[in-house]
A and B are shown apart, each in its own frame.
Chain A
Amino acid sequence: QVQLVESGGGLVRPGGSLRLSCATSGFTFSDYYMTWIRQAPGKGLEWVSYISSVAGSRYYADSVKGRFTISRDNARKSLYLQMNSLRAEDTAVYYCARYVVVAPAAYADYFGQGTLVTVSS
């Protein structure tokens, strides 16, 4: 079955950096787009970024553009999110999700359990 397991969350000071990872199994990773979605404590879902199956296309929300970088390693079946210049408002649970793109439709059909990132001094 499809499994997505995030790691790398934790407490970081404002201005600091963190790298999230998402290990996958149960599907052909290289066939799928992947995405990161986050949820601040007690708030709604916010789409963060996606990457195409061969990493040719990357897309970012305005709120993270220029600070976050999404990447993938198809040989390791893993997704990453490098987060720099972190701010308090980046505090959230970060979900990795498999992303199905049938233009112009796009939807996340499987989510991981999430990893908590806390930005605080």
Chain B
Amino acid sequence: SYELTQPPSVSVSPGQTASITCSGDKLGDKYVCWYRQRPGQSPILVIYQNNRRPSGIPERFSGSNSGNTATLTISGTQVLDEADYYCQAWDSSAGGVFGGGTKLTVL
């Protein structure tokens, strides 16, 4: 089976840059997307195809993917960015694999 690994938590001060990583074997050969989920809410897509933003997602959200690691970067982090973030990639054997999620704390 294919696995994606994320750090359980990341902390950042308001206005600083937050980086959330997602690791998997040869992940750079796959397309990665990222979801944000606030408590009690459904997930929303914030990055797709490694580095593309859906309409309505602020420019401060960006993504990259190379080697074994994909990274979600949030520049000028705001308190409202506090949420759980999940990476996902498609694997031909395992299907739509999710990372375990990262709780982003802004304080």
- Listed in ascending order, the chain A residues whose CB lies under 8 Å from chain B are 35, 37, 44-47, 50, 59-62, 95, 100, 102, 104-114
Contact = CB atoms under 8 A, between A and B. Distances in A.
Interface residues of B, number: 26
A110 B42 CA distance: 9
Given A44-B101, A95-B42, A95-B43, A104 B95 contact: no
Interface string B64-93: 000000000000000000001010101010
A112 B17 CA distance: 30
Given A104-B31, A105-B31, A111-B43, A47 B48 contact: no
Nearest to B41: A113
A105 B90 contact: yes
A111 B44 contact: yes
Contacts of B86: 44-45
A39 to B, nearest CB: 8
Of A95, A105, A110, most B-chain CB atoms within 10 Å: A105
Given A45-B43, A45-B101, A113-B42, A105 B96 contact: no
Given A104-B30, A107-B48, A46 B98 contact: yes
23 contacts: A35-B96, A45-B35, A47-B88, A47-B96, A47-B97, A50-B95, A61-B94, A61-B95, A62-B1, A104-B31, A104-B92, A105-B31, A105-B90, A107-B31, A107-B45, A109-B45, A109-B48, A109-B54, A110-B45, A111-B43, A111-B44, A113-B42, A114-B42
Contacts of B43: 37, 45, 95, 108, 111
Interface of B: 1, 30-31, 33, 35, 37, 42-45, 48-49, 54, 84, 86, 88, 90, 92, 94-101
B1 to A, nearest CB: 7
* Closest 5 A/B residue pairs (Cβ): A47-B96, A105-B31, A107-B33, A44-B101, A111-B42
Contacts of A106: 31, 90, 96
